[in-house]
């Protein structure tokens, strides 16, 4: 099969599969030093695919059309929310940005379709090479205290902390090459890849990446043996986490920022996160149906309030209290953010998007290894969405699209040739 998006002018044999291969080769190392650059990389890849299609006078293919349609509805609802948003200008701006992100993601997924086995292999091996290069960089930086990062950013105080996003992206991006290598019989390579990514997650400082890695490995093993049960458990988890998010938060302890002894059982980051979630849940109660408007989290009443934070006994001369922001830009919990900003309709839309993504994996005519990898990717992505990052951050959304496109590109249809 020939890549339908390959340029056909004399001397040109570069297609959408090649764009994806190059992008997945570059994405992991780019994430190490400029995680926000993942968004730019993905947008450039989508534009390159559009240009290649323009040379052939055709429109680019769009992948996962049902999921993409649901995502576009989210952007439309976000634009509608500007009618009652406390920041209508920001709501409209974010809605337009999301529409562009979702369209770019659909183009990346479209380019991953209809590739022949040779093209799929190139994409998968490029992804393997990208992960391997990124792991080498992570361990070098860990052993040298961030020597390269300090070289490029002389004033950086915590060079390893700056790689937290990268460790999360490595977990997501490793699903496709792991599935491909397993299906190809390279089991030792899969073990090395999975262990390497896990070691990187634990070598860095992102608790989200560590949890996501554990969830991904568990989901992959469960999906290998019991794929339908895995889909059912993920579906229940998705619906419960999104629709019942405010109720779930009310069951968590509300830490006292001014008394460290009363929250000694929680790590400082978890205690701060719980404080943010309780504040967000309270604001949901004020506008339970329609929400505050897309991207309004940062502008909520008292959101930027500075709260004294008891850090416990300190060395002589060191202050015991620091100050923290009550709501630093977003709730660090996608289900809460969907409900907080887009109200009950937004929460229902978010649930629909996640369930449609699960259904697309469940229905796909792919092999056993690819299905396990895809479900592991979904489980890890959903886990991180619940405990970290903003729901609308471009690097996060496009990182998910890149990981999904890599999985789609590396997946051989179950009916073709070699058994999965």
- Provide mean pLDDT across the span 89-101: 97
Confidence at residue 142, expressed as pLDDT on a 0 to 100 scale: 87
Q: For the chain, what is the largest distance between any 2 Cα atoms, rounded to a whole number of angstroms?
A: 74
Q: Which of 71-75, 140-144, 182-186, 325-329 has the lowest mean pLDDT?
A: 325-329
pLDDT of amino acid 417: 41
Mean of per-residue pLDDT scores for the chain: 87
| The pLDDT of residue 398 is above 90 | yes
Please state which of the ranges 172-181, 300-309, 360-369 shows the lowest mean pLDDT. Answer: 300-309
Q: Which of 54-58, 184-188, 249-253 has the lowest mean pLDDT?
A: 249-253
Residue 413's pLDDT band (cuts 50, 70, 90): low
Predicted confidence at residue 11, as pLDDT, reads 45
Burial 159-182 (b: 16+ CB within 10 A, else e): bbebbbbbbbbbbbbbbbbbbbbb
Provide the CB-side half-sphere exposure for 44 (13 A, CA): 11
Cβ burial, residue 128 (10 Å; 0-12/13-18/19+): buried
Contacts of 36 (CB under 8 A, 6+ apart): 394, 395
User: Mean pLDDT over residues 98-120, rounded?
Assistant: 92
pLDDT tens-digit series, residues 279-311? 899 999 999 999 999 999 988 888 777 777 666
pLDDT at residue 5 tops 90: no
Average pLDDT over residues 93-101: 97
Q: What is the mean pLDDT of residues 300-324?
A: 72
Q: By the 8 A CB rule, do 73 and 25 touch?
A: no
On the question of pLDDT at 17 being above 80, the answer is yes
pLDDT at 419 over 50: no
* Model confidence at 344: pLDDT above 80: yes
What would the pLDDT profile of 120-164 be if each residue is shown by its tens digit?
A: 999 999 999 999 999 999 999 888 888 887 777 766 666 677 788
Span 198-240, pLDDT tens digits: 999 998 888 899 999 999 999 999 999 999 999 999 999 999 9
- For residue 372, give both structure tokens: 């396990």
Cα distances (angstroms) measured from residue 334 to each of 210, 241, 290, 367, 405: 18, 9, 16, 31, 22
Residue indicated by tokens 């008292």 = 302
Return the higher-pLDDT residue of 64 and 156: 64
Domain ranges for the chain, please list them: 16-244+367-410
- In angstroms, the CA 336 to CA 327 distance is 13
Q: Which of 382, 377, 386 is nearest to 127 (CA)?
A: 377
> Dihedral through CA 267, CA 268, CA 269, CA 272, nearest 10?
120
With bands split at pLDDT 50, 70 and 90, how would you rate the model's confidence at 259? low
Q: Is the pLDDT of residue 265 over 70?
A: no
Average pLDDT over residues 181-192: 94
> pLDDT band at 260, cuts 50/70/90?
low
Q: Which two tokens stand for residue 61?
A: 């293919």
């Amino acid at each position: 099969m020939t890549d339908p998006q390959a340029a056909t002018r004399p001397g040109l044999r570069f297609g959408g599969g090649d764009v994806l291969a190059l992008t997945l080769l570059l994405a992991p190392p780019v994430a190490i030093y400029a995680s926000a650059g993942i968004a730019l990389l993905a947008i450039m890849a989508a534009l390159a695919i559009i240009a290649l299609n323009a040379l052939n006078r055709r429109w680019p293919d769009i992948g996962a059309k049902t999921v993409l349609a649901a995502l576009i509805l989210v952007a439309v609802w976000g634009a509608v929310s500007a009618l009652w948003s406390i920041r209508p200008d920001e709501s409209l701006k974010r809605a337009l940005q999301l529409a562009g992100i979702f369209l770019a993601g659909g183009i990346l997924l479209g380019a991953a379709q209809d590739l022949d086995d040779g093209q799929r292999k190139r994409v998968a091996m490029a992804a393997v090479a990208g992960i391997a290069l990124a792991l080498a960089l992570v361990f070098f930086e860990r052993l040298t205290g961030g020597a390269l990062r300090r070289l490029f950013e002389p004033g950086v105080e915590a060079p390893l902390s700056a790689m937290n996003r990268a460790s999360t992206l490595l977990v997501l991006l490793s699903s496709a090459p792991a599935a491909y290598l397993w299906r190809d019989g390279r089991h030792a390579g899969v073990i090395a890849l999975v262990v390497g990514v896990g070691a990187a997650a634990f070598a860095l400082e992102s608790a989200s990446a560590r949890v996501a890695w554990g969830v991904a490995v568990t989901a992959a093993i469960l999906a290998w043996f019991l794929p339908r049960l895995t889909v059912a458990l993920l579906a229940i988890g998705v619906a419960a986490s999104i629709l019942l998010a405010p109720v779930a938060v009310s069951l968590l302890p509300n830490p006292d920022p001014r008394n460290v002894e009363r929250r000694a059982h929680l790590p400082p980051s978890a205690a701060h996160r719980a404080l943010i979630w309780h504040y967000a849940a309270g604001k949901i109660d004020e506008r339970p149906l329609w929400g505050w408007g897309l991207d309004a989290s940062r502008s909520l009443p008292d959101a930027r309030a500075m709260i004294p934070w008891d850090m416990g006994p300190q060395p002589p001369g060191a202050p015991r209290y620091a100050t923290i922001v009550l709501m630093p830009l977003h709730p660090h919990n996608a289900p809460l953010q969907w409900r907080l900003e887009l109200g009950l309709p937004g929460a229902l839309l978010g649930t629909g998007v996640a369930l449609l993504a699960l259904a697309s994996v469940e229905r796909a005519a792919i092999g056993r290894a690819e299905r396990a990898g895809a479900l592991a990717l979904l489980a890890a992505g959903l886990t991180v969405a619940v405990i970290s990052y903003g729901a609308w951050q471009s690097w996060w959304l496009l990182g998910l699209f890149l990981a999904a496109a890599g999985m789609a590109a590396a997946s051989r249809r179950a009916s073709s040739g070699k058994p999965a």
